[in-house]
A and B are shown apart, each in its own frame.
Chain A
């Protein structure tokens, strides 16, 4: 979101940007909002608020730049500033607590899991969706941005306002937590998770 150039778009240009660059991302935006809030009405409100803010501040958007990342950043900020304060959700582990627990961006990538590829491939949608939904919101967010939406680390850093190193480490931690959840599902499915492939 560049604030270097504050162009004044004409109404026609504004409408064109809104329709051609912003609206095509509505399905991704809704999916993101729903996975943050777990509530259809809250997700709708969050997406609507995001699009209204995007329209109001359209002059700070530079035509031809990454509209999807710009919109995701607004949605993320709206979620933190507005939604989380009035959340109907029961309190979950806050990322700050988790961060304090780990207390570093340095992640040990060497931890391994005995979860097997064939067990993962046999999983239905519910298991992976439930595993993703069970993660604390900041871990869930990096997985959504990276694995569902395909943002680069640099784009994620801008959306989340964190350094790239933190994106990388948070993503790795999120994936380890996700694997722990999937491993539990695999065991209930009867897969022997202790054997090597």
Chain B
């Protein structure tokens, strides 16, 4: 078996351009407009284990951040105070 393939023989276990690939994957994950982004992503996830692992870990962390760190409750008096102060400077 090729030493550069994962045990399932589906993905290579080493990425020759890891630095470049990880940067690209993070940009795609962040919604940056990368030409042929979908195609590149599909290919990397299908063929490269380090890319597959990096992308899914980054995605899991991003989702966790979004679901767990966005719900600070805005104090009720803040909005009223802002409106009051704005009236004063008008």
Where the two chains meet, the residues of A that have a C-beta atom closer than 8 Å to any C-beta of B are 11, 18, 23, 26-28, 30-31, 34-35, 40, 44, 47-48, 51-52, 55-56, 107-110, 112-113, 115-117, 120-121, 123-125, 128-129, 132, 143-144, 146-148, 150, 152-153, 168, 171-172, 175, 178-179, 182, 197
Interface size class of B (residues with CB under 8 A): 35 or more
A132 contacts B65, CB within 8 Å?
yes
Q: Contacts A128-B69, A148-B70 known; A197 to B89 CB distance under 8 Å?
A: no
State how many angstroms separate the Cβ of A110 from the closest Cβ of chain B: 4
Where the two chains meet, the residues of B that have a C-beta atom closer than 8 Å to any C-beta of A are 18-23, 26-27, 30-32, 50, 53-54, 56-58, 60-62, 64-66, 68-72, 74-75, 77-79, 81-82, 85-86, 89-90
Top 6 closest pairs, chain A to chain B, by CB: A125-B68, A109-B22, A110-B18, A30-B74, A109-B19, A110-B19
Q: Contacts A143-B65, A146-B30 known; A197 to B53 CB distance under 8 Å?
A: yes
Contacts of B81 in A (CB 8 A): 44, 48
Contacts of A179 in B (CB 8 A): 57, 61
Contacts of A123 in B (CB 8 A): 64
A67 to B70, CA, bound (A): 19
B68 contacts A120, CB within 8 Å?
no
Q: Contacts A150-B31, A168-B23 known; A128 to B74 CB distance under 8 Å?
A: no
> What residue of chain B has the Cβ atom nearest to residue A34's Cβ?
B72
Q: Contacts A147-B66, A148-B65, A172-B26 known; A117 to B75 CB distance under 8 Å?
A: no
A112 contacts B32, CB within 8 Å?
no
